[in-house]
């Protein structure tokens, strides 16, 4: 069983490495033996959790580079850096994404006033950027004849956000989760199937991993309402995400491609 989930011979690329979930995926991959080539935007500060990983794993195991997932040229440059540093990537965690969290000071909207640009920006990163990363790193994998791409989706790929989770947030106008968020993630699930069919003849598997709400920084009232809506009665912890990622990344899922693994405590079952 240990060997089935081992990533000792693997090189993993993780986008959005400095965000909340980035270090969760990276820790799981490092603990399983992979080397990790971590990517994030040039102007993003190294997160506390990423810093902790850097103290446990030196640059022979964990390397940070900078890129924008919307910029093909820059992706090709970091792909060549990855090849020179660790060799051909065998795992890609396509995790970079944008949302508009309620904790931000962002103002509320009426649905008819949601700016076009906000929806466009979300689609550009979450869907089109994710596809671009898969094109660049996936073609290296295809040339090498093996690889596992894990596209990070969301429970909101399957259901629309329940705006009552946010109705305690003060303001003249309601907080609305951006409509493009769930739509961009639903598109990710469909692109996953597209990529899977094209990757299969080249030994590249492509799956989506869709987390539910992950604990961290939410206000108490939101947590109470959200958890009440989850059959398992709680939000996801970092540890809840490790196993599903390792399953999709490793030989344990060797005959699994084109699927969406929902890790949501049963949220979408209700």
Ligand X SMILES: NC(=O)c1ccc[n+]([C@@H]2O[C@H](COP(=O)([O-])OP(=O)(O)OC[C@H]3O[C@@H](n4cnc5c(N)ncnc54)[C@H](O)[C@@H]3O)[C@@H](O)[C@H]2O)c1
Residue 150's SS3 state is strand
CB of 170 to ligand X, least distance (A): 22
β-pairing, 11-15 with 147-152? Answer: unpaired
Nearest Cα to Cα of residue 16 among 34, 38, 35, 37: 38
Interaction between residue 214 and ligand X (CB under 6 A): yes
Conformation bin of residue 110: beta by default, left when phi > 0, alpha when psi is -120 to 50: beta
Give the x/- contact pattern for ligand X in 27-56, rule: CB under 6 A.
Answer: -------------xx--x------------
CB of 60 to ligand X, least distance (A): 24
Residue among 69, 196, 249, 262 that touches ligand X (CB under 6 A): 69
Residue among 97, 138, 147, 199 that touches ligand X (CB under 6 A): 97
Residue among 211, 244, 250, 261 that touches ligand X (CB under 6 A): 211
Residue nearest ligand X by beta-carbon distance? 19
Nearest Cα to Cα of residue 150 among 98, 236, 89, 216: 89
Which residues, including other chains, have CB under 8 Å from residue 87's CB and lie 6 or more apart? 11
* Residues 170, 161: Cα–Cα separation, whole Å: 18
> According to CB under 6 A, which residues from 117 to 136 bind ligand X?
125, 129
Longest CA span, the chain: 56
CB of 109 to ligand X, least distance (A): 20
CB of 134 to ligand X, least distance (A): 14
Interaction between residue 62 and ligand X (CB under 6 A): no
Q: Specify whether the CB–CB gap between 36 and 48 falls below 8 A.
A: no
Binding site for ligand X (CB under 6 A): 15-16, 18-22, 40-41, 44, 68-70, 95-99, 125, 129, 152, 154, 211, 213-214
């Amino acid at each position: 069983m240990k060997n089935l989930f081992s990533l000792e011979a693997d090189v993993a690329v993780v986008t959005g490495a400095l965000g909340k979930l980035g270090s969760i995926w990276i820790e799981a991959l490092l603990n399983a033996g992979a080397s990790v080539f971590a990517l994030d935007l040039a102007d993003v500060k190294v997160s506390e959790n990423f810093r902790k990983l850097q103290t446990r794993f030196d640059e022979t195991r964990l390397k940070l580079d900078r890129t924008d997932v919307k910029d093909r040229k820059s992706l090709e440059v970091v792909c060549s850096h990855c090849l020179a540093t660790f060799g051909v990537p065998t795992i890609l965690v396509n995790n970079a994404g944008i949302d508009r969290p309620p904790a931000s000071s962002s103002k509320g909207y009426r649905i008819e006033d949601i700016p076009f640009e906000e929806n466009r920006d979300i689609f550009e990163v979450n869907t089109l950027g994710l596809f671009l990363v898969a094109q660049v790193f996936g073609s290296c994998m295809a040339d090498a004849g093996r690889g596992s791409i894990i596209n990070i989706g969301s429970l909101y790929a399957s259901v629309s956000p329940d705006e009552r989770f946010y109705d305690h947030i003060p303001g003249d106008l309601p907080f609305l989760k951006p409509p493009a968020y769930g739509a961009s993630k639903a598109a990710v699930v469909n692109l996953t199937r597209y990529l899977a069919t094209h990757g299969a003849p080249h030994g590249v598997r492509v799956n989506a991993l869709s987390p539910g709400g992950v604990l961290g920084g939410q206000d108490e009232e939101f947590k109470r309402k959200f958890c009440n809506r989850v059959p398992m009665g709680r939000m996801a912890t970092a540890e809840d995400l490790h196993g599903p990622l390792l399953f999709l990344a490793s030989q344990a899922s060797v005959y699994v491609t084109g699927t969406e693994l929902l890790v949501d405590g049963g949220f979408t079952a209700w």
